[in-house]
Structure 1
Amino acid sequence: MGLDRATIDAIAEELAQAERDHAVIERITARYPDARVEDSYAIQGVWRDKALAAGRRIAGRKIGLTSKAMQAATGITEPDYGVMFEDTVFPSGAELRHADYSNVRIEVELAFVLREPLQGPDCTLADVLAATESVVPALEVLNSHIQLEGRTIVDTISDNAAYGAMVVGDTRVAPEDVDLRWVAALLARNGEIEETGVAAGVLGHPATGVAWLANRFHAHGDRLEAGEIILAGSFTRPMWVHPGDEVACDYGPLGVVTCRFI
């Protein structure tokens, strides 16, 4: 790793304070140009462990930067992942406080609810589908505590992959009952469609991202657990939202997911 343990711990605490203050800090890579991807996951891990020690509980994981749309929007071409806590998961129709987040944007995703654990190193798309209990449409609220301009994947991963919250739809489907590649979505803000996309935009099939994550976890001696929710990555560009905005995403047969920012 490029950073020593004391620096990793200090950055993790800086990000935890930024989360508490709903603030934005200077890019890590601007201050520590030698920081590597391994350092960023170490920072995220320290931040995560502090949150767990404070009583938060893991609901699942998010995968990011898995589609060409998101890679083009961020300038980052490598997938990443973060952790989702139970207190960040909301039902469709929820009202969210805009001031609780920073650089607030919305992404369109599918979430995989695991019936069985998933473990690498050779996890495949077929393995993911066999281990999945159900798939549900979801919106991800991005919450970036690091300056956006010039950021790299090191900055994004350190900041828990910019995850803020997840709004989960009401319709769950078994993965064998629908061709997940062809799930489409119309994302609207205040009644006007801003983004559209098809789930195949996520690595050709959204389950491919989940397999990637299981294999990535194996390299760290870990696995995805039964009952976890895995956000597979956005198949639209992120949409900015502001206080008072009404968000609705129409997934066709999978229903409409909504939320409002107050």
Structure 2
Amino acid sequence: MLTAEQIATIAEELAEADRTHGIIARITARYPHATIEDSYAIQGVWRDRNVAAGRRLVGRKIGLTSKAMQEATGITEPDYGVMFDDTVHGSGADIPVEHFSNVRVEVELAFVLKSSLEGPDCTLDDALAAIDYAVPALEVLNSHIEMEGRTIVDTISDNAAYGAMVLGDVHKRPDEIDLRWVPGVLSRNGEIIETGVAAGVLGHPATGVAWLANKIAQHGARLEAGEIILAGSFTRPMWVSRGDSVRCDYREMGVIECRFV
């Protein structure tokens, strides 16, 4: 395992890469013995420094929960990161592309909790009971570690590659819609690039919420009422560049549009 000094040094490297929108060398290339616990410790130091600087946590993202994403990354275990209030956008937003590195977009559902959820034995039914509503979301990926040869240790350390999210306007309670069959048709500049359905996320997108509650219980934490949980993508990531217009049609859950400027 890494020393506390090594963990703090890597967290500062990632913070600097975030400030400069740069890329650092793979952590696992330099520290091949680094563990998943080390990576969450790095993320935790980075998170705590951001909170101390005045940023406000609004929720967490789950990643690598679908076969599409696992095959796209070569990583087979889900992960999670944190989300700050200044990373949340509404549909129709102009998003500055220079704020990110390796900019890609994923199709997801987000869940807002009405009650706390604590592991280690949460089930899908427990998660559904704790969810206030689901809302369509696009996640903007933001990777600060070189892509070639990246492992789950690198990804987790880099806050699970989270950059921002764009939320839709339609809210649905879990008892109003079969969340497994919410579709996503993702277009870039009018051309359909990716399609999928939410069942691609662990069979039911809210399963990821239960997984997350159980996972963070290992670190003595729980999900709190009011948190936003991004459940994971059910399409492969789509690359975007400055000037691209992005649109995703979720059928009865509405449409999200944004532009990268």
Q: Deviations over 1:206-256 (max 9, x none)?
A: 011110000011111110000000000000000000000000000001100
2:136 & 2:238 partners in 1: Cα distance? 17
1:114 & 1:13 partners in 2: Cα distance? 32
- The runs of at least 4 aligned residues of structure 1 exceeding 4 Å deviation read none
Deviation at 1:118, TM superposition (A): 0.4
- Residue aligning to 1:3: 2
Q: Secondary structure at the match of 1:106?
A: strand
Q: Secondary structure at the match of 1:49?
A: helix
Amino acid across the alignment from 2:25: E
Q: Deviations over 1:108-143 (max 9, x none)?
A: 000000000000011010111111110000000000
1:12 & 1:177 partners in 2: Cα distance? 42
Deviation at 1:87, TM superposition (A): 0.3
Give % identity: 72
- Residue aligning to 2:205: 206
Deviation at 1:145, TM superposition (A): 0.2
- Residue aligning to 1:253: 252
Alignment of 1:14-33 (within 5 A): 14-33=13-32
Under a length normalisation based on structure 1, what TM-score does the superposition of the two structures give? 0.99
Q: Secondary structure at the match of 1:194?
A: strand
1:259 & 1:23 partners in 2: Cα distance? 24
What's the RMSD between the two structures over aligned residues? Answer: 0.4
2:257 & 2:31 partners in 1: Cα distance? 40
Q: Secondary structure at the match of 2:2?
A: coil
Q: Deviations over 1:77-136 (max 9, x none)?
A: 000000000000000000011011000000000000000000001101011111111000
Alignment of 1:86-101 (within 5 A): 86-101=85-100
- Residue aligning to 2:182: 183
Q: Deviations over 1:136-169 (max 9, x none)?
A: 0000000000001100000000000000000000
Deviation at 1:65, TM superposition (A): 0.1
2:41 & 2:119 partners in 1: Cα distance? 20
2:124 & 2:233 partners in 1: Cα distance? 17
2:258 & 2:30 partners in 1: Cα distance? 37
2:128 & 2:214 partners in 1: Cα distance? 15
Gapped regions of structure 2 (runs ≥ 5): none
2:138 & 2:209 partners in 1: Cα distance? 17
- Residue aligning to 1:128: 127
Q: Secondary structure at the match of 2:213?
A: helix
Amino acid across the alignment from 1:133: D
1:41 & 1:101 partners in 2: Cα distance? 21
- Residue aligning to 1:230: 229
1:185 & 1:82 partners in 2: Cα distance? 23
Amino acid across the alignment from 2:96: R
Q: Secondary structure at the match of 1:206?
A: coil
Under a length normalisation based on structure 2, what TM-score does the superposition of the two structures give? 1.00
2:82 counterpart of 1:53: no
1:91 & 1:76 partners in 2: Cα distance? 30
The number of aligned residues is 261
Gapped regions of structure 1 (runs ≥ 5): none
- Residue aligning to 1:112: 111
1:221 & 1:154 partners in 2: Cα distance? 20
1:101 & 1:221 partners in 2: Cα distance? 31
Deviation at 1:25, TM superposition (A): 0.6
Alignment of 1:50-89 (within 5 A): 50-89=49-88
1:221 & 1:98 partners in 2: Cα distance? 36
2:52 & 2:101 partners in 1: Cα distance? 24
Q: Deviations over 1:158-206 (max 9, x none)?
A: 0000000000000000111100000001000000000000000000000
Q: Secondary structure at the match of 2:212?
A: helix
Amino acid across the alignment from 1:247: V
Deviation at 1:58, TM superposition (A): 0.5
